[in-house]
Structure 1
Amino acid sequence: MNAVAVLRLPLQVDLSGFIALLQRLRVPHRVSEEAGEQVLWVPNAALGEQVRVLYSQYPEGASEALLPAAPAAPRRNLLGQLAASPLTAAMLVLTLLVALLTWGGENLAAVRWLSFTDFRLEGDYLQLNYFSASMESGQWWRLITPMLLHFGVLHLAMNSLWYWELGRRIEARQGAWMLLGLTLTFSLVANIAQYAVGGPSLFGGLSGVLYGLLGHCWLFQRLAPTPAYKLPKGVLVMMLAWLLICMTGVFELLQFGAIANAAHVGGLVAGCITGIVGGLLARRYQSVP
């Protein structure tokens, strides 16, 4: 059944209150702009007549007190949440398995097979190869696998928590295949960026991917608002502030270890690009009757 145009109003009419009312009542709808007017669409004529009546009564929306209470969504336990986000869960399980296999980065014999460049241990020093040598040997997996490496429990825990927070949002809104594609893309861009800036070095972690997912959700939400990508207040500011602090080099000065800043920036830039493209496509789709 074709969508029905319920209302055609001038652009200066504020529909935000009425749209919020439709959202609270869970009425499927979309708004487009045509010939200098804003048009409200619903899926069918029967629903359209009800929406017209509702608009005549509450053109500016209605307070919660005037609305029937919506049934509370059932709260999922941990197993239910994992089942609802299988790709996110699978990535975290794989990351945990690699952490156990490499013993948090201490098992260098295992680490060397997943690092961006191969290396050998000579005394207390790592002799790192250039990436071209790995490519000549057909070791293309190294373009992606550094995202699975973590050095220490805190590194693993923080990255896993943020991947769970951001990954399941994208999986719920755009699907598992999109999340997988974004994860691999951001890992590829972040790893190449880090190698291009820092040369042969030992680096790893999901941080570059996480900044990509953050940038994707941020700009997608700006262009095509969706509850799934509405992050808690302060998250974006905190993540960007952390990035800037890391880029100052303070952690290196305090001898806490080197930070893969180029990977973070590369992932963030890639995520902003995909967020813009995805948001524009989503907004265009929403505006097509």
Structure 2
Amino acid sequence: MSAVAVLRLPLGADLSGFVKLLQRMQVPHRVSEEAGEQVLWVPDEISEDVRSLYARFPAGDPDQQLELPDLGGTSRRPGFVAQLTRSPVTALVLLLSLIVSAVTLLGENLDTLRWLTFLEFRVVGDYIQFTPLADSLAAGQWWRLVTPMLIHFGFLHIAMNGMWYWELGRRIEARQGGINLLGLTLLFSLVSNFAQYFFSGPTLFGGLSGVLYGLLGHCWIYQLLAPNPAYHLPRGVLVMMLVWLLLCLSGLVSLIGFGEIANAAHVGGLLVGCFTGLLGGLFARRKMLR
């Protein structure tokens, strides 16, 4: 783990408050004196976060108003049960996804699946006949607007989506609370489902991936505006998910045998997630400056 110089300040500058903040966050660091300057060194992988943090809190956080999880990664990681207890909404969404996957036999049980899809359908011979959405909503089936996020087609589908929801959902729940995570999840599901329906028409689609891109966009933009360790994502994660999105849009992923991809749901989720991250980040930034 290589260290880099993130700050070079005159010897007269008071860095003690910011150093105390780093110590409270358990961030590995050291201060040296070079050529008449005091230099702050931190691990390379968190250097950008530390610079952003200093830009916002050059005097540190003497009143300890910030909710700051461990940025340096030196504290003991809580056990799985403790993580479940701290992230009940994240765990609930994943549990519901697993239950739905079981009762629908990962999309094979059409009789059960039809109650959770965006459009109700019935099988007529070798064809699927869809019911117009307006008819379903008129009958009070409003749950269809969001329940496709619980549907998954195959073990790999739910395993990958579940892993990423666990990773991103816990971050938002820890920083903004379970109610906000639930609201964002439902909003992202709603927007991504409508986006997919608008671009693909009456088809079967499902999965948490539209929600995941919403959570990704939310953390990404929020972190740019109001830096917080909870939303710090390694560069490789962000790049990988955006590259995957581009590969899916290119049609290459479907071509090599991954099946049909709900590209519109991914893009719709990402855009609305960036928007909520913008609103949340601006609000948090304004709160910091008070």
TM norm structure 1: 0.78
The residue identity in structure 1 corresponding to 2:233 is: L
Counterparts of 1:253-268 in structure 2 under 5 Å? 253-268=255-270
Instruction: Could you tell me which runs of 5 or more consecutive residues in structure 1 were left unpaired when the two chains were aligned.
Output: 1-11, 45-69
- Go from structure 1 to structure 2 and tell me whether the alpha carbon gap of 1:283 and 1:199 turns closer, same or farther (over 3 Å shift): same
SS of the aligned residue for 2:123 comes to strand
Cα drift, residue 15 of structure 1? 7.6
The residue identity in structure 2 corresponding to 1:192 is: F
Cross-structure match for 2:62:
42
- Go from structure 1 to structure 2 and tell me whether the alpha carbon gap of 1:254 and 1:280 turns closer, same or farther (over 3 Å shift): same
Cross-structure match for 1:57:
none
- Go from structure 1 to structure 2 and tell me whether the alpha carbon gap of 1:238 and 1:41 turns closer, same or farther (over 3 Å shift): closer
Task: Report if aligned partners of 2:225, 2:285 keep a CA contact under 8 Å in 1.
Answer: yes
Cα drift, residue 138 of structure 1? 1.7
SS of the aligned residue for 2:129 comes to strand
1:218 equivalenced with 2:230 (yes/no): no
Cross-structure match for 1:50:
none
Cα drift, residue 13 of structure 1? 11
The CA distance in 1 between the partners of 2:209 and 2:91, in whole Å, is 17
Cross-structure match for 1:24:
22
Task: Report if aligned partners of 2:18, 2:61 keep a CA contact under 8 Å in 1.
Answer: no
- Go from structure 1 to structure 2 and tell me whether the alpha carbon gap of 1:250 and 1:31 turns closer, same or farther (over 3 Å shift): closer
Instruction: Could you tell me which runs of 5 or more consecutive residues in structure 2 were left unpaired when the two chains were aligned.
Output: 1-9, 26-52, 65-71
> Higher mean Cα deviation, 212-221 or 83-92?
83-92
The CA distance in 2 between the partners of 1:13 and 1:221, in whole Å, is 31
The residue identity in structure 1 corresponding to 2:21 is: Q
Cα drift, residue 152 of structure 1? 0.4
Task: Report if aligned partners of 1:31, 1:286 keep a CA contact under 8 Å in 2.
Answer: no
> Higher mean Cα deviation, 202-211 or 248-257?
248-257
The residue identity in structure 2 corresponding to 1:42 is: P
SS of the aligned residue for 2:159 comes to helix
SS of the aligned residue for 2:239 comes to helix
SS of the aligned residue for 1:126 comes to strand
1:100 equivalenced with 2:102 (yes/no): yes
Cα drift, residue 131 of structure 1? 1.4
Cα drift, residue 258 of structure 1? 1.1
- Go from structure 1 to structure 2 and tell me whether the alpha carbon gap of 1:43 and 1:128 turns closer, same or farther (over 3 Å shift): same
- Go from structure 1 to structure 2 and tell me whether the alpha carbon gap of 1:20 and 1:255 turns closer, same or farther (over 3 Å shift): same
SS of the aligned residue for 2:258 comes to coil
- Go from structure 1 to structure 2 and tell me whether the alpha carbon gap of 1:232 and 1:157 turns closer, same or farther (over 3 Å shift): same
Cα drift, residue 255 of structure 1? 4.8
- Go from structure 1 to structure 2 and tell me whether the alpha carbon gap of 1:91 and 1:138 turns closer, same or farther (over 3 Å shift): same
The CA distance in 2 between the partners of 1:19 and 1:189, in whole Å, is 44
The CA distance in 2 between the partners of 1:81 and 1:236, in whole Å, is 23
Counterparts of 1:1-289 in structure 2 under 5 Å? 20-26=18-24, 42-43=62-63, 73-288=75-290
Task: Report if aligned partners of 1:95, 1:148 keep a CA contact under 8 Å in 2.
Answer: yes
Cα drift, residue 72 of structure 1? 5.5
The CA distance in 2 between the partners of 1:139 and 1:13, in whole Å, is 67
- Go from structure 1 to structure 2 and tell me whether the alpha carbon gap of 1:146 and 1:21 turns closer, same or farther (over 3 Å shift): same
CA RMSD of aligned residues (A): 2.8
The CA distance in 1 between the partners of 2:288 and 2:76, in whole Å, is 28
Please tell me whether Structure 1 or Structure 2 has the larger radius of gyration of its CA atoms.
1
The CA distance in 1 between the partners of 2:277 and 2:73, in whole Å, is 33
- Go from structure 1 to structure 2 and tell me whether the alpha carbon gap of 1:152 and 1:188 turns closer, same or farther (over 3 Å shift): same
The residue identity in structure 1 corresponding to 2:84 is: L
